[in-house]
Chain A
Amino acid sequence: MTIDRANSALLIVAHGSTVNPDSSAPTLAHAAEIWRRKVFAEVACAFWKEEPSLRDALCLFDPKPIREVYVVPNFISEGYFTQTVIPRELELNGRITKRSSGQIWKYCEPVGNHSMMTELLLKRACEVAQDVSPAQTTLLIVAHGTDLNENSAVAAKREAENIRALAKYGDVLNVYMEEPPLVSDWKKLTKTPNVVVVPFFISDGLHSYEDIPVLLGIASERPVSNCRAERGEIFRHNPHRINGRSLFYAPSIGTDEGYRASSQI
């Protein structure tokens, strides 16, 4: 897709959070990086649970210089937010919406749908467990599971299948927090001496800092503090030695530096 740089803006839309201070971090970081690369005349973010809101976003771009706005949901998969909330709040009526000012809003697919996702998962797995042989390693991609809002379970399965087809890892499994195959059953589900776990989420938060580590057995149920350094502590103790096997735990895939929303369009 060719973008008329001088007259186009990028709006990255994310969920945000009223309790998790790290929820918006990857989205803000992507926006700052894309702004630095000067791919668009303007780059902005909007959030469902933070500011600026999706409604605020309607006023962010002056229709005189900005003729086109590309809306990219920073979501791991299609779902309730990409299909219902974002179009409603941004008053979008399909892939292309023409405003009364003549400004065109183009609604793009969520970043998680991008074909680069498979590559990023491989990169992250490789970074977190640099000195192990992939053939001796099982890669676990952890999604939420019974989350009615998102189809992330389907997307995680698709990614696991893509990576399995490359025959690089000993095994590749999609596992879930709340439905089988359960991440807490990892010892039964995997046979290799090494296991790499990558959370399939946009940002780090309660699930990646606390819930999944507890389910894996690498953290106690003590809640993690709100201090940023402590929150990221769990990713700094690799490998975790359990029953003679090595378990490597990575941050959420959406926090990867290579994961740039601009690649979606």
Chain B
Amino acid sequence: MPNLIEQALEAALVDRFYIGQILVRKTNGGGFVISHRDDQGRGDLKLFQSAEDAIDLTKFDDSGNYRPLKTAPNLQHGWRLQLAILDDLRRSLDYFYPGRLAIFVSWKSSQLQITPLRETLDRQSGMYRIAAKISDKQVNRVVGDFCRSDGGCLRTVLWKRDSRGTVASTRLPPEKFDPAFDQTLTPGSPPPATTPRLIPLLCQEPCNLLVAECRNVVKDETER
């Protein structure tokens, strides 16, 4: 996948692009600089120069809390990562948003397998088996809360609720399902005058955190 990913990055890198909360810029010397999108124009950023520095930069939010979901909109601020070659850029983005570039490339080439929530839940075993008992009404609420871009997760949801194609949650705006929409923006608000290209963070199958949340809802219900 590295070659295909690097091709996709090069295509996006006419000048600069956004991925999640990150801004990637090409430097005149042929290298790359990445930083938090909110930190543009700040002169007091701490400099890092290794792709592996991204491992620690993604681990905690601004308050020092562990980030179990890397696509949550709580990436820490205050850093600037300078990288020399495209392979470093690819590796570092894979630490910031693990697996998302490969998923994007698969999606672009129409190879991506998309799995409905019910299928994921029905496949679970052990302590998660019970999660499949969640009702449609509860799914609508849990997904609406858990996956929402403001405060939940910045991925674009590609999966449906079930094999009949029911929308994942009617509580989410239509933009949540649109890979062309920048999930850091508020749906309906006027788009900024100029925006760099965008590599969307795609969600092709409900994550384990959402499965765990479904399980909690069912457990709370049965214990009540």
Chain A residues close to B by CB (< 8 Å): 17-21, 25, 28, 32, 42, 45-46, 48-53, 55-62, 65-66, 80, 84-85, 88, 149, 226-227
* In the complex, chain A residues whose CB is within 8 Å of the CB of B135: none
Q: Give the interface segment out of B97-105, B143-151, B160-168.
A: B97-105
B48 sits at the interface (CB 8 A): no
CB <8 Å contact, B66 and A19: yes
Across the interface, name the chain A residue whose C-beta is closest to B107.
A59
Q: Chain A nearest CB: distance from B15 CB in Å?
A: 27
Other A-B pairs, 12, CB within 8 Å; known A17-B68, A25-B55: A32-B52, A51-B99, A52-B98, A59-B99, A59-B106, A59-B112, A59-B204, A60-B99, A66-B1, A85-B125, A88-B123, A88-B125
Residue of A nearest to B206 (CB): A55
The answer on a CB contact under 8 Å between B3 and A65 is yes
8 Å CB interface, B81-107 against A: 97-99, 102-103, 106
Contact partner, B66, options A21, A51, A62, Cβ 8 Å: A21
Chain B, Cβ-Cβ closest to A66: B1
Determine if A21 and B55 form an interchain contact, defined as CB atoms under 8 angstroms apart. no
A18 to B, closest residue via Cβ: B68
Interface positions, chain B 104-159, Cβ under 8 Å from A, are 106, 111-113, 115, 123, 125-126
CB pair A61 B1 closer than 8 Å: yes
How long is the Cα–Cα vector from A37 to B2 in the complex, in angstroms? 17
Nearest residue, chain A, Cβ from B58: A51
For A101, give the chain B residue with the smallest CB separation. B111
Beta-carbon contact of A56 and B99 below 8 Å: yes
User: Are A80 and B209 closer than 8 Å at their CB atoms?
Assistant: no
Task: Report B193 CB to chain A, min CB distance, Å.
Answer: 33
Q: Which residues of A contact B115 (CB under 8 A)?
A: 55
Also in contact, A42 and B68, with CB within 8 A (given A49-B208, A58-B113): no
Decide if B197 is an interface residue (CB 8 Å cutoff): no
Query: Which of A17, A45, A84 contacts B126 (CB under 8 A)?
Result: A84
Task: Decide: A226 and B66 in contact? CB cutoff 8 A.
Answer: yes
Q: Does B59 contact A (CB under 8 A)?
A: yes
